[in-house]
Amino acid sequence: MRVDELLRGGTTHSFEFFPPKSDEESVVLARTLHDLEPLHPSFVSVTYRGGRESRQRTFDLVTQIEREGQLTAMAHLICVGHSRAEMRDILKNYLDAGVTNVMALGGDIPKDDALASSEFEHAMDLVELARETGDFSIGVAAHPQGHPRSEDLATDRYFLAKKLELADFAVTQFFFEAHEWTHLVADLSERGLTKPVLPGIMPVTTLGGISHMATMGARVPDELAERLESAHVQGGPRAVRAEGIRAAVELCEQVLDAGAPGLHFYTLNRSTATREIYSSLTH
């Protein structure tokens, strides 16, 4: 099914994976997909870091999921380092394989200068090309705290609104306070954009995760950091994990109460934390 149609049909829950790089990672991912199937996710998405090898792994995994027919898949695409002709061929290959759901992203600039040449400047250019190429359901990324490379939050929101005018929905970077999502949605609404914005959820389950999340563009608020540190004092790593799961459940409940169209879980190719959060929400 198309993701835009699923969103029109009611509250969704979706999971994000990255393509495996080794046989060992393939085994872990296969187990995760098997464990999550009973939750009947609305759709799953598969990331793409860039480069020909990663692109092929994403394509292979997405098309495999679609062929098996148990799950609806969405493919991530990045435009950095691609020509328009190359990206048009990629899009057509997905259409030929029956994949109509894509996430249009800018992507990180490659460290290898040989890969840095690109006929695209922003994700907006990729959204436009996807619209020209076929009847895709197109998602774009939203950053509640602003994209790390944006000049400021106002500029970030301006370009997000421009992307969302052409796209069908947005998925946010993970965040940790409900007001970050509600403020983002309210800002877009003031700009005339009311398309679905799925909140991205990733629990912080270790003390090391507090600093790691900041490097990924989502600072952990002091209140949550203090909760996790207090849990560690009381019960060690296991207590930290339990408190992180509890905080994620609270966040999910708050954004759903605020009208979120669904929840998008960043799984890191592991199912345990996601299943625990989802179980708490449905019981």
Q: What CATH class has 3-282? A: alpha beta
Q: Is the per-residue pLDDT at 118 higher than 80?
A: no
Give how far the C-alpha of residue 128 lies from the chain's centroid of Cα atoms, to the nearest Å: 20
Q: Of these residues, 16, 66, 180, 276, which one is catalytic?
A: 16
Residues shown for the chain:
283
pTM value is 0.92
Q: Is the per-residue pLDDT at 124 higher than 50?
A: yes
What digits encode the pLDDT tens for the residues 219-241? 999 999 999 999 999 999 999 99
What digits encode the pLDDT tens for the residues 243-273? 999 999 999 999 999 999 999 999 988 889 9
Helix or strand run (H / E) with residue 103? strand 101-105
Rounded CA gap, 111 and 109, in Å? 7
Q: Which of 169, 161, 159, 155 has the alpha carbon at shortest distance from 188?
A: 161
What's the whole-number mean pLDDT along residues 122-144? 95
What digits encode the pLDDT tens for the residues 176-210? 999 999 999 999 999 999 999 999 999 999 999 99
**Burial class of residue 149 (count of CB atoms within 10 Å of its CB; 0-12, 13-18, 19+):** exposed
Give how far the C-alpha of residue 274 lies from the chain's centroid of Cα atoms, to the nearest Å: 14
pLDDT of residue 113: 46
Helix or strand run (H / E) with residue 173? strand 169-174
Residue indicated by tokens 């009311």:
194
Does 223 participate in catalysis according to the annotation? no
Residue ranges per structural domain of the chain: 3-282
